Structure formats: C-alpha cells, structure tokens
Amino acid sequence: MKRIAVLAGIAAALVFPFVVTSPYYLHLVVVIAIFSIVTLGLDIVFGYTGEVSLGHAALFGVGAYTAGVLAFQFEIGFWLAIPAAIVVALAFGALLALPALRVTGPYLAMVTLAFGTIVAILINEMTFLTNGPLGISLQKPMFVDLRTWLPFLELSRPRMRDIAFYYVVAASFGLVLLVVNRLLASRYGRAFEALRDSPIASDCMGVSVYRHKVLAFVMSAGFAGFAGVLFAYSEQYIAPNNFSFELSIQFLLAVTMGGRKSRVGPVLGAAIVVYLPNLLADIDQFRAVAGGVAAIAVLAGGWRMLRVPEERLRTAVPVVLCIGFFVFSLMLQKITDYKLTVFGLMILFMVYYLPEGIWGFVKAGLARLMPSPPAAVARGDDAHVWSATAPVVAEGRALLEVQTITMQFGGLKALDSVQLTVMPGTIHGLIGPNGSGKSTMMNVLTGIYTPTSGAVVFEGHEIQGRTPSDIAGTGIARTFQNVQLFGELSLLENIMVGLNHVYRGTVGDVALATPRARREEQAARLRAASLLRFVGLEALAHEEARNLPYGKQRLLEIARALALDPKLLLLDEPAAGLTAPDIRELIDIIRKIRDHGITLILIEHHMDVVMTLSDTVTVLDFGQKIAEGVPAAVQADPKVIAAYLGGSHAEAA
C-alpha cells in the first residue's frame, strides 16, 4: 500500500512539468518543495524535541547567502554551493544550540530570535561580501539540455532551464523526505521523543538530553541551509529582507498547521504557507476561503454539539470565532493592511483549537473510521535477555563505595556523612522512614545531584559530579519512585531507548541505511523483545507505555533499566502500589537479575520484600546511617525500631 503511494508520487512528480505547463504553477511547486525541506527539518526540533526555533529563516538565509556569495564573489556554482551551505548552516546551528540548550526553558527561542535579527544586520552591513541591501543576482544553471533528447517537445531555453531545475528540487525534496524519515524511525527519533516525555529518565538511560537536543537542532539547521541554496537559485535574486523574522514564524506556522511529528504535516503546512500571500492579496478569494472555513466549522461543530451535548459551550466558541472571522473578512476593504493580523489570528486559532494540526486532525478521524490492524507480536527468546558484563573489581573488593557523602539543601542535610559499601553480586537493601534520605542517595549515585562533599567510587573510579548520562554509561541503571516512562512510545521502543548504548552506527549510517545500521536495529529489536519477555510483557510490546496498568509500568521500568546492561541496578520502591501476586512475581524477577551477576541496591518499604531478598541492609534516618548488617540483626536493632516507631535514640539505647 505504502509502496504504491510512493511510486505514484514519483510518477506524478516526473510528469508534472509536462501536464501543468504554466510557469507560474511550476515555480509555486518548486517553492513549496523548498519550504518543505525547511519545515521537515524544523519538525525534528519543534515537533519532536519540543524546542521552539525562531531562527530558521536566518539559517535558511545563511544557506542562500552562502550560495549567493560563492557565485557573486568567487564564481563558484550550484554543486559546490550545496555542501558549503550545509556546512556553514551546521556550524551556525552548533554555535546557537551548544550554549542555548544547556538550560531548560525558553532559551533556544530567545537566542534564535536574537540570531535572526543579527543575521539580517550582518547581511545588510557586510556590503563587501554580501552586496548589502542591493542583494545578489544569480543565474539558474542549465543542468541538462533535454532538447537534444526530446526535440519533439519544442521547449524554449528558459523553460528547459526551469524544468531541469524543477527536477533537481524534486529530487532534493525526495531525498530529504527519505533521510528525515529514516532518522526519525531510528534510535535518534526515539531519543528525541523520549527526552520530551521524561528528560530525567532519558539521561539516566544514557541518552543525554542535551546532546540529542543539540543534534536535532544542528541537523535541522543543515536542512535549512540546503533549502537556502535551492531557494537562491530558484528565485535568482536574494536580498536581506527575504529572510525576516516573519518567515521564521511562517515556518513554525507551517509545521503547527500541517501537523507536527509527521511527514505529511510539514509538507501540507509548507504548501499552505506558500500559497497564503496569494490568498491574502485577493480580497474575494480570501472571503471565499473564510466562508468555506466557517461552513466547515458550523458543520463539524454542529455534529460535535449533537454528539457531545455536555461540551456544547466549549464547541460553540471556535465556531462563533470562525463565523466572526468570515464577517471580519466581509467588512475589510483592503486585505493587505491587515495581512499580519490575519496571520496572527491563524496562529492563535491553531494553538487553541488544532494543536495537532490539520494532518493530526485528519489522522485521528481516519483512525476512528478504520482502526489499524494489530501489529505483529514481537518475538523474543531467552537467549537474548542477558548481555554479559562482569564488573571489573578485584576479588573481595567493593563494587560501589560511598565515602562520607554529605548532600546539603540550604540548611538541611539530606545526607550527613553517609558511608556505604556494596559488594559485587549482592542485593543491598536501603531502608528508613520517609524523608530519611534514601531517594536523595539514589539521586547522588546517578548524578542527578552533585554531593556537597564526599566521594562516590564505582569500580575504582570517582563518579560524583559527572552527568547522569555519563554515569549511566559506566553501568549504573535505575528505576524511579514515581514511574518515569516514555509515555508516548511503545513498550518495545521504551526498552530500545535503554539499548541506545549498543549502537555503534552514526547519523550517516542511519541516513544511508547502511547494512550496519539495519543489522544493529534488528539486533536491538530482538534484544528488546527478549527483555519484555523476561518481565512477562511480550504480548503488549506495541502498546503505548502510558496505557499500562501501574504494576506493569514498574516491571517495564526494570526491563528498560536492564537494557542498559548495568553492573549495578538501583530499584527505588519497586513494590510500591503492587498487588500481592505482582510482588511475588517481582521478587522472582529480582532474584533472577541477581543470579545473572548484577548487583542491586533496593529501596523498599515492604519489609518482607527487603528482608527476604537482601544480603545486607543499611538503615538511614534523618540523613544519617543508624544501622547496617544482615537483615535479622538490623530488624532486631533497637535504634531501627525507634526510628520506625518513634521514641528517642536514648530511650532505645
């Protein structure tokens, strides 16, 4: 089905210039394809990682001006301009993303907005290079002279040039579509989605949020630069005001309007945005479209009001707005004066009422009409659950040593000079009343907190102060007290995010779909399915993680942590909220994990679970270690009993 659609698309693209002979429409399609390259790239940043870029027009302009300057100053043509522009755009992308994405918040939007302004200024001012406000003219190259091959068509020379250029753009568009599709279906796409769902869990699975966000932005910048070259040669003239802030907003509007996180959406959006100026130049056409939108709104809204009467008022608002917009269009005399207002209203409407965009809306409708067939169950087997990684510590030495760790929040010492020694191959219980510092310890061990003082030594190396994703890479995996799954990914994909570390292939491998990339993807898929099988969730492999019941979510978290091939696994209250049969299953799973040589630290409030499983138990109270030893001894310790049941230490002693 999909293959037929692709072939039909290619065939349509091939015959298009001979079917539609108007140069105007040929040019329109070329510009739509060029804009689509930008929006497909922008979707990686905006749709997948959720960061807003207000500088894509500038990156697009950087690409166009690279081509322009090369042609104007150095007489270097189209084919060399493409790699040059991509490299320049990638460099600018890195320059912006590396500092701006270090902190969470709206920083990337602010920095890219500033970048857009600066680029406009620089292009205007650096007259010696860019010819300033006068702009640069270039000549569309004549790629092949089809007249020698197809003399019977009797094409004029400029028309031949246009058709050849159309094919170059169409091929570029197809190529970008293919590459973006591959990237987003690969581990990179999964990482982009994962880091948006739960940044903390991504970092703790060794998928650095920072690095992947930077990667997404830099790739996206590269696509914008590439599109810039095509644009420069398509228009044959570029000037600084081609690449204004308004264009950046148009790109964002295109992705939002068409529909994020899809390939159809950004292309559809690009088509709308390119056609928009025509629409806003002609008042009659504008009124017709506004009327059409109002009619659709009345029909769709009316149907919804009948179906969902309790939301009648909420549904009425957008319908009334659409009708109001139509009336506004009838009252307007000169549309061009209010072009930007119309533009702004469209953005607001999209943000409010169609956040998933047109394609998202259509897709949801289609899914209701034709439920998709159940996906094939992923096949895993027992042979691929474990990947042996023995810890490298000498016989009799500790795997993990926590040396007088203190973690201070303001005046509060959440951990106060705590010592902890975990021997390889053991299960180490960590208990204590609420607020005793257990979870703080987990966060210190995994690098989420940097301890105020003290050292954490893992396999003989100090790891405190390193980033969570670094520490995950050394072989420490964890689960979370409040479950942190990647809700919108399937169970299988959740685990494959944890398997990110096994891939050796690069972005290039993915883009070219090299044998290595395919082999690694298949191996990871098999391994993930096997891990799912290990925790008994194989049948639900293609379900979205957020749809799982609570107990199963905890099991999935354990499987995902195992995907990291950890030497040390930290379980933070794995039995919380589980039913009695679920707990028995959990105990069984934990034992099997230990039997495969993985060391565990177990935080748990279910005393029976801790006492049956643990080799050693450490008790924390108010940030201090109050007892340590074999379970039976700890249970009998009066200080421990006092901590749990109240009373002062003095009394207990």
Only one of the segments 443-451, 530-538, 625-633, 642-650 lies at the binding site for another protein (rule: CB under 8 A); that segment is: 443-451
Only one of the segments 298-306, 478-486, 539-547, 597-605 lies at the binding site for another protein (rule: CB under 8 A); that segment is: 478-486
564 Ramachandran zone, left/alpha/beta (phi>0; psi -120 to 50): alpha
Rounded to a whole number of angstroms, the minimum distance from the CB of residue 3 to another protein is 34
Task: State which of positions 300-319 bind another protein (CB under 8 A).
Answer: none
Dist. CA 375–CA 114, nearest whole Å: 46
Binder among 28, 52, 305, 316 for another protein (CB under 8 A):
52
Binder among 105, 371, 374, 581 for another protein (CB under 8 A):
105
Q: Please say which residue, 51 or 604, places its beta carbon nearer to another protein.
A: 51
Provide the b/e sequence for 88-108 (b: ≥16 CB within 10 Å): bbbebbeebbeebbeeeeeeb
Residue 386 CB coordination number (10 Å): 18
Q: Per CB under 8 A, does 185 bind another protein?
A: no
Q: Per CB under 8 A, does 341 bind another protein?
A: yes
Q: Per CB under 8 A, does 329 bind another protein?
A: no
Q: Per CB under 8 A, does 102 bind another protein?
A: yes
Q: Where are the beta strands (DSSP E) in 481-623?
A: 568-572, 599-603, 616-621
Tell the burial category of 396 from Cβ atoms under 10 Å away from its Cβ (0-12, 13-18, 19+): exposed
Q: Per CB under 8 A, does 328 bind another protein?
A: no
Rounded to a whole number of angstroms, the minimum distance from the CB of residue 339 to another protein is 8
Q: Per CB under 8 A, does 364 bind another protein?
A: no
Q: Per CB under 8 A, does 35 bind another protein?
A: no
Q: Per CB under 8 A, does 188 bind another protein?
A: no
Rounded to a whole number of angstroms, the minimum distance from the CB of residue 119 to another protein is 10
CA 234: distance to chain centroid?
Answer: 32
Backbone φ and ψ for 458, nearest 5 degrees, come out as -120, 120
Q: Please say which residue, 83 or 99, places its beta carbon nearer to another protein.
A: 99
Binder among 107, 361, 622, 644 for another protein (CB under 8 A):
107
Rounded to a whole number of angstroms, the minimum distance from the CB of residue 209 to another protein is 12
Q: Per CB under 8 A, does 327 bind another protein?
A: no
Helix spans in 154-311 (H)? 157-185, 187-197, 199-204, 209-235, 245-258, 264-281, 283-307
Helix spans in 454-545 (H)? 468-474, 491-498, 507-512, 515-534
Q: Please say which residue, 126 or 295, places its beta carbon nearer to another protein.
A: 126
Dist. CA 135–CA 406, nearest whole Å: 62
Q: Please say which residue, 125 or 145, places its beta carbon nearer to another protein.
A: 125
Provide the b/e sequence for 264-277 (b: ≥16 CB within 10 Å): ebbbbbbbbbbebe
Amino acid at 31: V
Q: Per CB under 8 A, does 144 bind another protein?
A: no
Rounded to a whole number of angstroms, the minimum distance from the CB of residue 444 to another protein is 11
Dist. CA 360–CA 172, nearest whole Å: 26
Binder among 208, 439, 479, 616 for another protein (CB under 8 A):
439
Binder among 99, 302, 324, 465 for another protein (CB under 8 A):
99
Q: Please say which residue, 492 or 561, places its beta carbon nearer to another protein.
A: 561
Q: How far apart are the first and last CA of the chain?
A: 76
Residues 231-270: x/- map of binding to another protein (CB under 8 A)?
--------------x---x--x---x--------------
Only one of the segments 44-52, 166-174, 415-423, 629-637 lies at the binding site for another protein (rule: CB under 8 A); that segment is: 44-52
Q: Please say which residue, 292 or 355, places its beta carbon nearer to another protein.
A: 355
HSE-CB at 126 with a 13 A cutoff on CA atoms is 11
Q: Per CB under 8 A, does 211 bind another protein?
A: no
Q: Per CB under 8 A, does 121 bind another protein?
A: yes
Report CA torsion sign: 196, 198, 202, 208: positive
Binder among 264, 345, 507, 513 for another protein (CB under 8 A):
345
Rounded to a whole number of angstroms, the minimum distance from the CB of residue 206 to another protein is 17
Return the structure tokens found at 110.
Answer: 């602010």
Only one of the segments 17-25, 96-104, 172-180, 635-643 lies at the binding site for another protein (rule: CB under 8 A); that segment is: 96-104
Q: Please say which residue, 243 or 449, places its beta carbon nearer to another protein.
A: 449
Give the number of residues in contact with another protein, rule: CB under 8 A: 54
Residues 6+ apart with CB under 8 A from 202: 191, 194, 195, 208, 209, 212, 469, 486, 497
Contact 64, 224 (CB under 8 A): no
Contact 259, 350 (CB under 8 A): no
Q: Please say which residue, 103 or 539, places its beta carbon nearer to another protein.
A: 103
Across the chain, which distance is largest between two alpha carbons, in Å?
106
Dist. CA 487–CA 475, nearest whole Å: 24
Collapsed DSSP state (helix, strand, coil) of residue 599: strand
Amino acid at 362: V
CA separation (Å) from 652 to 248, 337, 418, 607? 69, 82, 22, 20
Binder among 200, 289, 512, 523 for another protein (CB under 8 A):
200
Q: Per CB under 8 A, does 277 bind another protein?
A: no
Residues 398-417: x/- map of binding to another protein (CB under 8 A)?
-----------x--------
**DSSP class of residue 476?**
E
The residues that touch another protein, with contacts defined as CB under 8 A, are 46, 50, 52, 54, 95-96, 98-100, 102-103, 105-107, 109-111, 113-115, 117-118, 121-122, 124-125, 200, 245, 249, 252, 256, 337-341, 343-345, 347-348, 350-352, 355, 409, 439, 443, 448-449, 480-482, 484
